[in-house]
Chains A and B, each alone.
Chain A
Amino acid sequence: MYKIESKIKYAEGLYGIWVDAQYVAEKVEPGQFVMVMTHEKGERIPLTIADYDRSGKKIFLVFLVAGKSTAQLADMNEGDELFSLVGPLGKQSEIENYGRVVCVGGGTGIAAIHPIARSLKEAGNEVISIIGAKNKGLIFMEEDIRKVSDKVIVTTDDGSYGRKGFVTDALKDLLDNDEEEDIARVWAVGPAIMMKNVALLTRGYNVKTIVSLNAIMVDATGMCGTCRVTVGEETKLTCVDGPEFDGHLVDWSEFMNRLMRYKPQEKIAMDLYMKRRQ
Chain B
Amino acid sequence: MSGNAKEQILDFVRARYPQAEIDETQDIFALGFVNSLFAMELVMYIEKTFEVTIPNDELKIDNFRSANTMAELVDRLSPARV
Note whether A and B form a binding pair: no
Binding site for B on A (CB under 8 A): none
Binding site for A on B (CB under 8 A): none
